[in-house]
Structure 1
Amino acid sequence: MELQDIDLNLLVVFNELLRQRRVSAVATSLGISQPAISNALNRLRKVLGDELFLRTSKGMVPTPFAETLAEPIGYALGTIHNTLNVTPEFDPASTSRAFTIAMTDIGEIYFLPGLMKRLALVAPGITISTVRDQSDTLRDEMERGAVDLAIGFLPDLKTAFFQRRLFRQRYVCLFRKGHPFAESGLTMKSFLNAEHVSIIAEGTGHGMVDTAIQRAGVQRNVRLRVPHFVAVGHIVQETDLIAVVPEAYAARTLAPFDLLSAPCPVRIPDITVNVLWHARNHREPSNQWLRQLVFDEFAV
């Protein structure tokens, strides 16, 4: 006999009859009707070719064959039950788990100092690797478990993904302290007259900045285009170029590079920065712990 030849629910009925010896008691225990219990027993009798239980004044008494089946079936059902109900434990203080988090260079600048400082206190054995959060490849990497979490503005990750909002932020203009805007202020006219560094950030949601500016009918004087944000602070510090950047990036670069920021005169939609994970990791204890730590540390 093969497993596909038998309904395993019949073995649950069999095990309960061994334990309680009364059809009414088994029906109550399993939450089904007495006729359904009797029907299950009849089906099992046909499959196994034995009466299995005999009705007596003392209840349902197992046959010798049923008694030989009692221990192995009880053990097998107990093993299945325990396996399905096990709750894996995760101890951050003692683990040496390695996590991979997808984020942009802005994310590395904004999140990693605080995250690594926190991990040093509560989970010193954990190591972190980062990869770029370009949505065209990130979906596949998270589906196969190569990336544990993603942090950022990733509107394309929807189906099969969960997310929690960390904060919303606006875009601002970034320029050096000695810039003429530091005295005169940044207006639409000065924004149009200024020379700009444009950040492409291909594969991320930040590409919508140029689209939003164009839709507003504004034509920027772009003198420099770079693929990412990491050099923008250095560039703006040494030139009169201005950059339109997320407020989180500005917050981390103003002091180190002696820069100033001002609201962008062109209306650009606010963005939502989320922590995201794939459904495959939704109940995985270490993933649950890390994303909660990120939320506790950075959510506003």
Structure 2
Amino acid sequence: MELNEIDLNLLVVFQQLLIDRRVSKVATSLGLSQPGVSNALARLRKLTDDPLFLRTPKGMEPTPFAEQLAEPTARALQVIHAAINQRSTFDPATSKRAFTVGMTDIGEIYFLPKLMKELARIAPGVSLSTVRNTSVNLQDEMEAGHVNLAMGLLPQLKGGYFQRRLFKQRYVCMFRIDHPLDKGKISLTDFSAAEHVVVISEGTGHGQADELLRRQKVARKVVLTVPHYVAVGHILHDSDLVATVPERLARALVTPFGLSYVNHPAKLPEITINLFWHERYNKDPANVWLRALVTQLHGEGAGKQ
């Protein structure tokens, strides 16, 4: 097979099929008709003399040959895309770009107020949407460009992703002002004697704190378990419950909910909150700009928050 026999658009369809695994979804992603996608696949099958994708109940599954082609095809398309767009620029003052960022409810509480205020000032036409890091297949969505950045404690994002550390933080014990534990420092005995609300934040890495407490055999009376952090401020304000939370979330909740917090009596390691992006968009001007803005506002030492 010679290069002059290959239509570049066929490789674009091939790569999108590897991501979406359904003809209808590929058609939507690329702005094509379903017959157009099917026709492109038929031409590719003829050129390669391989079925490439087989229909299964889970979608279009790639053949071994298709999997062999996946990495070099993606790399080649990335090089071509970068070469064609190397002179492109991004002007935040005039852009109407809509970004999508993956984050947890903690991220929405901590990152968004300052970020949205700054966007209104320097990029009034730019809009932002958030998705829960656990509600989508974050790896596939970022690779496809549907999610531009992700923030948080995300151990599942490894190969193929760049990351930049925003800050490190510790876990603290939080409760209402004038709580019996609101005395500057508490012991493990104090901690164990209290009643606790525990947040099960699956897929974020924050579950490690609960696991470490179990490993250290730190006793606590758990009377409430919730799946996210967004209600913690309300719960603590109107009860005597205690929560183990990341310190920057605690800082954000102190004033609005009349809360207080102290150093955690258990030996819990600091956690690193990172900014993630897919390698395909490492040099994309808009992505570069948004990463720089987030780092400026929330990176280590930003405003000494």
Computing the radius of gyration from Cα coordinates, the structure with the larger value is 1
Q: How does 1:119-130 map to 2 (within 5 A)?
A: 119-130=119-130
1:253 partner SS:
helix
Residues 290 and 190 from structure 1, CA distance in 2 versus in 1: closer, same or farther, beyond 3 angstroms? same
Cα distance in structure 1, aligned partners of 2:135 and 2:208: 14
Counterpart residue number, 1:245: 245
The offset of 1:283, in angstroms, is 1.1
The offset of 1:85, in angstroms, is 7.2
Residues 290 and 220 from structure 1, CA distance in 2 versus in 1: closer, same or farther, beyond 3 angstroms? same
Cα distance in structure 1, aligned partners of 2:86 and 2:198: 52
Counterpart residue number, 2:175: 175
Per-residue deviation, residues 228-251 of structure 1 (Å, max 9, x unmatched): 000001001111100000001000
Counterpart residue number, 1:160: 160
Residues 176 and 85 from structure 1, CA distance in 2 versus in 1: closer, same or farther, beyond 3 angstroms? closer
Cα distance in structure 2, aligned partners of 1:202 and 1:83: 40
Counterpart residue number, 1:235: 235
Residues 285 and 176 from structure 1, CA distance in 2 versus in 1: closer, same or farther, beyond 3 angstroms? same
Residues 135 and 279 from structure 1, CA distance in 2 versus in 1: closer, same or farther, beyond 3 angstroms? farther
CA contact (8 A) 1:169 1:247 kept: yes
Cα distance in structure 2, aligned partners of 1:291 and 1:144: 18
Per-residue deviation, residues 106-138 of structure 1 (Å, max 9, x unmatched): 100110000011111111000000011129721
Cα distance in structure 1, aligned partners of 2:100 and 2:184: 45
- Unaligned 5+ runs, structure 1: 6-79
Q: How does 1:1-300 map to 2 (within 5 A)?
A: 4=4, 84=84, 86-134=86-134, 137-183=137-183, 185-300=185-300
Cα distance in structure 2, aligned partners of 1:199 and 1:3: 55
Which stretch has the larger CA shift, 132-141 or 195-204? 132-141
**Aligned Cα root-mean-square deviation (Å):** 2.0
Residues 288 and 176 from structure 1, CA distance in 2 versus in 1: closer, same or farther, beyond 3 angstroms? same
CA contact (8 A) 1:135 1:203 kept: no
Residues 109 and 3 from structure 1, CA distance in 2 versus in 1: closer, same or farther, beyond 3 angstroms? closer
The offset of 1:181, in angstroms, is 1.0
CA contact (8 A) 2:151 2:276 kept: yes
The offset of 1:183, in angstroms, is 4.1
1:182 partner SS:
coil
TM-score of the superposition, structure 2-length normalised? 0.70
Residues 167 and 205 from structure 1, CA distance in 2 versus in 1: closer, same or farther, beyond 3 angstroms? same
Residues 220 and 122 from structure 1, CA distance in 2 versus in 1: closer, same or farther, beyond 3 angstroms? same
1:272 partner SS:
strand
How many residue pairs were aligned? 224
**Corresponding letter in the other structure for 2:111:** F
**Corresponding letter in the other structure for 1:226:** V
